[in-house]
Structure 1
Amino acid sequence: MDNIKLGLKENWKQFTLLVIVNAFVGGMVGLERSILPEIAEKEFGLVVKTAILSFIIVFGITKALTNYFTGALANKYGRKKLLILGWIIGTPIPFILMFAANWNWIIIANILLGINQGLAWSSTVVMKIDLVGDKQRGFAMGLNEFAGYLSVAIVAFLTGWIASEYGLRPYPFYIGIALVLLGLIFSVFFIKDTRHHVAKESKSNTVPLLNNIFLDTTWKNKNLGSVSQAGLINNLNDGMVWGIFPLLLASKNFTIEQIGIITAIYPAVWGIGQLFTGKMADKYPKKEMLFWGMLLQAITLLLFVFANSMYQYIILSSILGWGTAMVYPTFLASIAENTNPIDRAKSIGIFRLWRDLGYAIGAILTGLIADAYNINSSIVFIGVLTLISAIIIKTRMETITSCISKKEVQKKKNYIIIDVRTKEEREAGYIDNSIHIPITELENRIKELPTDKLYITACGKGGGRSIKASEILQLNKYNAFWLCGGTLGWIEKKAGNNV
């Protein structure tokens, strides 16, 4: 246990391997992204939108339930075993898609795909969070989702191109065979389990255990519940984009190749964007990242009903991808930040249960509305739901900033400690080289502070005023943490002293 270290730098080899494996996982979803709705119409003669979207419905439900059980079983059986099981279950998928004689076989393939994604993607997410500790979770999740969704985009583009050149089946799905083989080989021979990293972090983590993990993650806990509802709505609109947009574009006489390009742009921006937004989630308040990301998605979806040209669809797809990139790594980093390591895998599994049910709910709602009215009506409806989700985050979620220890501060360079106590408290003892700005004066004096420094806020015992001060700094785009243990902890006086 003593030789186990947390951090991205300390575990870069395993982390890199997990990123590569997640790219293979994402590619499995990309197999269907641009061409399956077209196969439904042209090869199987499906016309009713709810029937066409049935593959997304079963995928979403199956993946959501598998996420839940993966989270529940991760601590018991280990992450690596569940990852390998995910790839074994995914092995038949490309063959079924190639040779399916009727639509029921496509449904079976998507049940297997949901299990594959729930086991494999959930395992890689949790393992990366285990490895990096609490300081770089946003960046870690950004890299994870970047790999997964960029792979979705690349494979979606490739299958669209292959389909336009050689037909809808079987050639586009040969990519899936390579993905399964590579994913299984990497998972069996190169990936190591991370349960020892969890045990190490749990010794120093101060987040209390949840009373009821399911209820707290679902809604009771203000922060966890806000993230869970936003995750559901995010994937609800993604389910619509996945199922409805290829049909919308086909109805506007775009070619298969053009549809492949447009549908690939959204996950590409989503994937690449997370390289930046993941890092932003470590620096800026997660509440603000989630609010603006969901708001941007809502506005973009509502603008889609006015689009006609390929140029307009490309621009809006890019903006929608950026909005999704703002929230996706932030979701998982927020769940990790608000849970104890012992609860984390279960809580992430429950969050991903609700998030991925959004695929099924989105496909059902948009299919029913599109059949009853038209495709534009379904897009507007989902856009309004996304707007409501943003408002819930804004009004219900609380801003949380990170605590940093004396040991970690002393490793940093170019930092300033701000003592936010009163003048009288400071006179009783203070940290050497700290500056004094009482919490009551911070907002009025914030422009005095240079923006290129790292700020550590300190009160008496840590928490309270120092958390509030770090929130004020972060809301004004400063990089800020609050000092664990406060001034008392730093100068090692007894807790009873009036410091």
Structure 2
Amino acid sequence: MINKGLGVRKNLSQFLIYSVITFLIGSVMGIERVAVPPLAKDGFHITSIVYAVSFLSAFGAVKAVMNLVSGRLSDHHGRRSLLILGWLFAVPFALLVIFAKSWLWVVLANLFLGVNQGLTWSMSVTAKIDLVGPKGRGFAVGIDESAGYLGVGAGSFLAGVVVTRFGLRPAPYVVILGIFLASMVLSTFFARETKTWATMEASQLNGVDEVYPPKLSKLASYMSFRDREMAAICNAGFINKFIDTLMIAFIPIYLIRSHVTIFHIALAVSLYAWIWGLGQAFTGHLADKIGRKTPIVFGTFLISLSIGSIAAFRSYQSLIVSSSIMGLGMALVYPNLISAVGDVAHPTWRGGALGVFRLWRDGGYAVAPLALGAISALLGDKASIYIGAVLAFLSAVTLFFLYHETEPSKRRLPFMWQVHPEWVKPRSRAT
């Protein structure tokens, strides 16, 4: 395929293909969220909350690491080959759960799912950012995340229907194998390598000949500690997944113990997910117009407020309102954190920078189930929710003071890697 330049319109067919792929990636996650947790109790008689959510920690830990590895590899070897490789790991995930003899098999299966999601979703979002260039970055990420989380919703609904009619195994995982086949066809025969678009963007920047992909250790240090803006963004990503773990695993348990009906719990969680998913296309485009900082900071404050409100709910109506506000907060924050990283990173090491951010972000999935499980056991369910609200509030304050606008047309300061090129350049090339 001939590279026609940067922008959604110039690359509409490839943008749509990658959006469909993202939808399919999300649908696998949706099936897992609905079909796996009931196996703990109904399939393997697991009663411990911490043990039951151990599959989520296993998934999050591996996905976080694969985000880092895949981002770095994509800067050297391209996006499409890693996308295809990632889909191959969906097969052992499905087969291990189908034939699982103990809960440990399910935990092991989620290690493979972590690889699958870390490779495929990282490459899909990076490909879209490559295609659109700097002007439409927020819109591209918003569409990517909307497609993915609409896929999560569709997969969750489909899994509910399949499980109700055919049982917990093997039907949901047969569906995943079907998604794998469809995705392999799209990724192999229709999707194109997008690294050439990133190279084109890099060639349009001043001083491109002086920019080199940094070593992974330098890039991780830069993103995590040296650049305070990016450190705040990485922290916000971690807290974001910490809060999401609360919403999908611990808040439903708290509400059940508070005698809230399953219908109202399902309605609250669904509204949270759908407002989050559908809202991201709008909030990503909004951030292209007004900048990233306002949506990110305001959205994080909304998340803190809504979490605290859920813990203190007094009626079903307040629960629904709080869940909806939380979904809006997530929609404001989630895609624009990725866009902020894309703004800062040079095209030659964008994949690696996104990988470091996603390592921190999805690390929240690895840590949260164990931490929240321990807090719930020691202090009670409500305490774990209030602690989540406090963490989100502190993250918002940190972002307000440390993060400066990164949207290219509104940025007034040089990026830290431009002020201190030695932080990202190989030692022999630093001036």
Fold match by TM threshold 0.5: yes
Q: CA deviation at 1:167?
A: 3.8
The 5-angstrom pairing of residues 459-498 of structure 1 reads none
The residue number in structure 1 matching 2:48 is: 48
The 5-angstrom pairing of residues 115-154 of structure 1 reads 115-154=115-154
The SS at the match of 1:400 is coil
Q: Which has the higher contact order (CA 8 A, sep 6+)?
A: 2
- Measured at CA, do residues 259 and 28 of structure 1 come closer, stay the same or move farther in structure 2, by a change above 3 Å? farther
The residue number in structure 1 matching 2:17 is: 17
The residue number in structure 2 matching 1:72 is: 72
The SS at the match of 2:31 is helix
- Measured at CA, do residues 52 and 207 of structure 1 come closer, stay the same or move farther in structure 2, by a change above 3 Å? farther
The residue number in structure 2 matching 1:190 is: 190
The residue number in structure 1 matching 2:370 is: 364
Contact 2:60 2:362 in 1 (8 A): yes
- Measured at CA, do residues 207 and 305 of structure 1 come closer, stay the same or move farther in structure 2, by a change above 3 Å? farther
What letter corresponds to residue 313 of structure 2 in structure 1? Answer: A
Rounded to whole Å, the distance in 2 between the matches of 1:206 and 1:26 is 37
The residue number in structure 1 matching 2:327 is: 321
Rounded to whole Å, the distance in 2 between the matches of 1:45 and 1:245 is 21
The SS at the match of 1:5 is coil
The residue number in structure 1 matching 2:336 is: 330
Counterpart of 2:384 (choices 378, 384, 400) is 378
The residue number in structure 1 matching 2:354 is: 348
Q: CA deviation at 1:84?
A: 0.3
Contact 2:293 2:403 in 1 (8 A): yes
Q: CA deviation at 1:77?
A: 1.8
The residue number in structure 1 matching 2:169 is: 169
The residue number in structure 1 matching 2:31 is: 31
Rounded to whole Å, the distance in 2 between the matches of 1:81 and 1:401 is 30
Q: TM-score, normalised by structure 2?
A: 0.88
The residue number in structure 1 matching 2:427 is: none
Q: What CA deviation, in whole Å up to 9, does each residue of 1:345-373 have, x standing for no partner?
A: 11000000001001111111111111222
Gaps of 5+ in 1: 405-462, 469-499
The residue number in structure 1 matching 2:114 is: 114
Rounded to whole Å, the distance in 1 between the matches of 2:263 and 2:166 is 12
Counterpart of 2:313 (choices 294, 307, 313) is 307
Contact 1:161 1:260 in 2 (8 A): no
Q: CA deviation at 1:301?
A: 0.6
Rounded to whole Å, the distance in 2 between the matches of 1:287 and 1:129 is 19
What letter corresponds to residue 60 of structure 1 in structure 2? Answer: G
What letter corresponds to residue 389 of structure 2 in structure 1? Answer: G
- Measured at CA, do residues 247 and 37 of structure 1 come closer, stay the same or move farther in structure 2, by a change above 3 Å? farther
Contact 1:137 1:333 in 2 (8 A): yes
Q: CA deviation at 1:109?
A: 1.5
Contact 1:34 1:246 in 2 (8 A): no
The residue number in structure 2 matching 1:90 is: 90
Counterpart of 1:263 (choices 269, 277, 282) is 269
Deviates more, 1:242-251 or 1:365-374: 242-251
The residue number in structure 2 matching 1:203 is: 203
Q: CA deviation at 1:46?
A: 1.9
- Measured at CA, do residues 207 and 252 of structure 1 come closer, stay the same or move farther in structure 2, by a change above 3 Å? farther
- Measured at CA, do residues 3 and 304 of structure 1 come closer, stay the same or move farther in structure 2, by a change above 3 Å? closer
Rounded to whole Å, the distance in 2 between the matches of 1:42 and 1:308 is 32
Q: Please provide the CA RMSD for this pair.
A: 2.4
Rounded to whole Å, the distance in 1 between the matches of 2:207 and 2:397 is 27
The SS at the match of 2:345 is coil
The residue number in structure 2 matching 1:396 is: 402
Rounded to whole Å, the distance in 2 between the matches of 1:160 and 1:250 is 19
Contact 1:223 1:396 in 2 (8 A): yes
Rounded to whole Å, the distance in 1 between the matches of 2:3 and 2:106 is 48
Rounded to whole Å, the distance in 2 between the matches of 1:66 and 1:203 is 29
- Measured at CA, do residues 207 and 259 of structure 1 come closer, stay the same or move farther in structure 2, by a change above 3 Å? farther
- Measured at CA, do residues 91 and 34 of structure 1 come closer, stay the same or move farther in structure 2, by a change above 3 Å? same
